[in-house]
Structure 1
Amino acid sequence: MTRITSPFSRLLLWLLASLLAGCVDPYKPDVLSSPRSYLVVDGFINTQGVTTIKLSRTFAISSLPKVPAETRATAYIEDATGARYNLVESPVGIYTSAYLNLTPGRAYRLRIATVAGVLYASDFVPAKITPPLDAVDWRPENAGMGIYVSAHDDARATQYYRWEYEETWEIIPSVRPVLEFYNNAIIPIRVPYPTLCWGNERAVAIQLAKTTALNKDVVSDFLLRRLARTSERLFRRYSILVQQHALTKEEYAYWEALQKNTESLGTLFDPQPSQLTGNVHCLSNDAELALGFVGAHSLAQKRIFIERGQLPLDWPYNNGYAGCFPPDTLDPKVRVIPFFSSGYSVPVSQVPGTYLISSPDCVDCRRRGSATRPSFW
């Protein structure tokens, strides 16, 4: 490496850096500061089940801590003959129907009236039947555990597929306190912390496949998910629920564009973001935007479980609490009452002359999941 020792050379470099810095203007796109708020419609018409639609509003990233829900709206599903199927709001911003059994091939759409009286409607779309999942398989690989899905449609009526999945796993903390700080004193614990919790996460990645270029409408061993060998989700018991959607060509194009906008924007060679509006339109004002695509199809789903004993013996165990064991020791010179009153530490047990302590994150698995056993577990 060449070292620059000349003062003149260093001065030139400094001037160049100053000029370059002066040429950079802060980029503040209008959308970040725009006060406009557009309706966002998230969901699909479930032709053989309960339809769930989430209504919310767009917002500036820096203005709100959470997505604002669109409340007190009136929503219903309408078919081409004028028949209506009402949706009821519960909880806030979530609108659900009764169990539906809609006619395949018939056209349906969603209609919405906000509390302010603004009317929206999605385009009419044909009701499709989603074929069942043939298999949800998993296998250990060098890169970790791969989870694969397979499906087919002998009638070639599907061709465009989308998958979602939800994961559930057991959480077992390493540290189990026998003491607690209560009423300015350390006493035997009255209500023990849970020794087992369940983590749960719904994937946000968009998973798509199409079979239009194939002789048969078959999807075989599509890689849906890969977990690292060291994943804490594989510590004892893991489950994944896979949901399959049959899309129209237009709905597939919408999800594909959304996938590119959200997941393929990291280099100069990635596609540039494009504006997505979907098939929902404002009937009260043609210039008013609405975001989302409402399709109409049934839902196919399949759940599998994976036990720790099914995994290779050389895969490491990781319960996610590696930094929590062994517990720390509390210096006996520290005043105990103000120390535990802060809430940052929990007394675990007592040893001669001192206490063993840990953080709430290490002893309370409810901070990482729920202590309520799932109904399917």
Structure 2
Amino acid sequence: MGRVLLVFLGIMGFLGSCRTPYDPEIPATELQILVVEGYLDTEGKTSELKLSRTVPLSSEASMLPELGATVMLRGQNGQQFDLTEKGDGIYLFERNIDESQTYVLEILLRSGERFTSEELKPIVTPEILDGGYLRDEDGVEVFVSTQGNAEADDFLWTYEETWIYRPRIRTTWIYDPQIRDVRLRTEGEQNSLCFKTETSPDIILETSSRFQDQVVFQRTIVEIPVGDERIMERYSILVSQKGIASKDVQFWEILKKNTEDIGSIFSPLPSLIGGNIKGLDNQTPVIGQVSLGVIRQKRIYVNRNDVAPWNYIDPQFNDCVIAENPVMIPEYTTVFGNGSIVPARELMVGTTIVGFFPSSRRCTDCTLYASPVRPEFWEDN
């Protein structure tokens, strides 16, 4: 959905790159294009349909989620499957349906406007034959291999990345204002192990008939440069492989070309994007693409030790140090009270703690940058 919006904004941005500033008075309603995007899995995996509206260039938001819509998938035999609204313009589909039938997606907005897809024929995507990574002098390349067939010749890959994120300085101590003292953190207060998750911004396409026996061998999914944060300790990527109809390839190719090429006055003008969704009331314009089929997935892990030397360094934390001057007991509330300065290392006299060497919270608290919640799928080995 964000990619579609980028193309629309790119059109306006190109027009706004002239030497003489020009602020066209475009009615807000003319910018309210409905954007529809999704690939619905036919074997029960939870999949998403995203509905949103484009917004004026002056808006701080990049999109306007379409809320309160009624969305359903209707089979040729009349059976219907309702999508569940999750929020933020996302509608969930989690059904195992007959892949021998054809379907249409129907959308009813709160405004009463109706939209429908072209006829959708589910594609049984071939399995991912292999997946892994290669280490070279430039970094790590994650890949998958598959084999197409007469039904599934064209492929679209998406991915979701998750990795362990650590703060520059780790501490097990916390100042507790209730007791006005420093104590050990509880498990629920730990802030030295976090997880970051990001979804793929890329459009990865391939046609298997270009290769012998339709074998797509080690198709690059993502390249991670040496020293990148993602492999500071352990990295995971969930690759989703989706077979798409040949007639849908052009939509994705245009979208890929426009999102990759927009950026300078010498870039080509963005192509007009349509897709397979149309309005039934000739009111709100609509762009987007909906596909239906089996989503094949493979999770791949990469450990820093397996690709060493990696030498991860983030320059924004180069000034992170543990101070040489300790904070003594009478100073705890004054120094640690607002939370921006935290106790990092204890100062001992014999077996007694008499103070702490401090550091800044931004250097010690990974929850400022990622989630402390361990993902359900995460494996340590």
Q: TM-score range by the shorter chain?
A: 0.7 to 0.9
* Cα shift at 1:371: 1.5
Q: If you compute each CA radius of gyration, which structure gives the higher value, 1 or 2?
A: 1
* Cα shift at 1:161: 0.9
Residue aligned with 2:305, SS = helix
For 1:164 and 1:179, the matched residues in 2 are separated by 40
* Cα shift at 1:339: 5.8
For 2:225 and 2:212, the matched residues in 1 are separated by 35
Matched residue type, 1:57:
R
Matched residue type, 2:138:
A
**1:100-119 residue pairs with structure 2 within 5 A?**
100-104=96-100, 106-119=101-114
Matched residue type, 2:236:
S
Residue aligned with 2:159, SS = strand
Q: Is the 8 A contact 2:36 2:49 kept in 1?
A: yes
Question: How big is each residue's C-alpha offset from its partner over 1:70-127, in whole Å with a ceiling of 9 and x where there is no partner?
Answer: 12211100123332111121235222234222223x3222101111111111111221
293 and 31 in structure 1: CA distance in 2 versus 1, 3 angstrom threshold: farther
* Cα shift at 1:269: 5.1
- Tell me if 1:81 matches 2:82: no
Q: Which residue of 1 aligns with 2:190?
A: 193
Give the TM-score, by structure 2 length: 0.81
Determine which of 215, 224, 228 is the counterpart of 2:225: 228
- Tell me if 1:374 matches 2:381: no
* Cα shift at 1:35: 5.8
- Tell me if 1:165 matches 2:159: yes
Residue aligned with 2:59, SS = coil
Matched residue type, 2:54:
T
Question: How big is each residue's C-alpha offset from its partner over 1:22-41, in whole Å with a ceiling of 9 and x where there is no partner?
Answer: x9311446669666312221
Residue aligned with 2:248, SS = helix
For 1:350 and 1:72, the matched residues in 2 are separated by 54
Q: Which residue of 2 aligns with 1:20?
A: none
Residue aligned with 2:253, SS = helix
Unpaired segments ≥5 residues, structure 2:
1-17, 349-353
Residue aligned with 1:216, SS = helix
Aligned-pair identity in percent equals: 28
227 and 98 in structure 1: CA distance in 2 versus 1, 3 angstrom threshold: closer
**1:249-260 residue pairs with structure 2 within 5 A?**
249-260=246-257
Determine which of 20, 32, 44 is the counterpart of 1:25: 20
**1:77-226 residue pairs with structure 2 within 5 A?**
77-104=73-100, 106-153=101-148, 155-173=149-167, 174-176=169-171, 178-180=173-175, 182=177, 185=180, 187-189=182-184, 191=186, 192-226=189-223
Determine which of 239, 258, 267 is the counterpart of 1:261: 258
Q: Which residue of 1 aligns with 2:3?
A: none
Matched residue type, 1:80:
Q
For 2:123 and 2:355, the matched residues in 1 are separated by 67
Q: Which residue of 2 aligns with 1:296?
A: 292
Matched residue type, 1:63:
S
Question: How big is each residue's C-alpha offset from its partner over 1:28-63, in whole Å with a ceiling of 9 and x where there is no partner?
Answer: 466696663122212123222244212222112432
Question: How big is each residue's C-alpha offset from its partner over 1:233-267, in whole Å with a ceiling of 9 and x where there is no partner?
Answer: 21221111100011112221111111111112235
Q: Which residue of 2 aligns with 1:362?
A: 363
Q: Is the 8 A contact 1:243 1:301 kept in 2?
A: yes
Q: Which residue of 2 aligns with 1:14?
A: none
62 and 357 in structure 1: CA distance in 2 versus 1, 3 angstrom threshold: farther
Unpaired segments ≥5 residues, structure 1:
1-22
For 2:176 and 2:30, the matched residues in 1 are separated by 48
Q: Is the 8 A contact 1:47 1:127 kept in 2?
A: yes
* Cα shift at 1:159: 1.7
* Cα shift at 1:292: 1.0
Residue aligned with 2:213, SS = coil
Residue aligned with 2:254, SS = helix
103 and 142 in structure 1: CA distance in 2 versus 1, 3 angstrom threshold: same
Q: Which residue of 2 aligns with 1:46?
A: 41
Give the TM-score, by structure 1 length: 0.82
Deviation larger for 75-84 or 135-144: 75-84
Q: Is the 8 A contact 2:104 2:120 kept in 1?
A: yes
* Cα shift at 1:296: 1.3
Q: Is the 8 A contact 1:77 1:108 kept in 2?
A: yes
Matched residue type, 1:306:
V
For 2:157 and 2:28, the matched residues in 1 are separated by 34
Q: Is the 8 A contact 1:156 1:216 kept in 2?
A: no
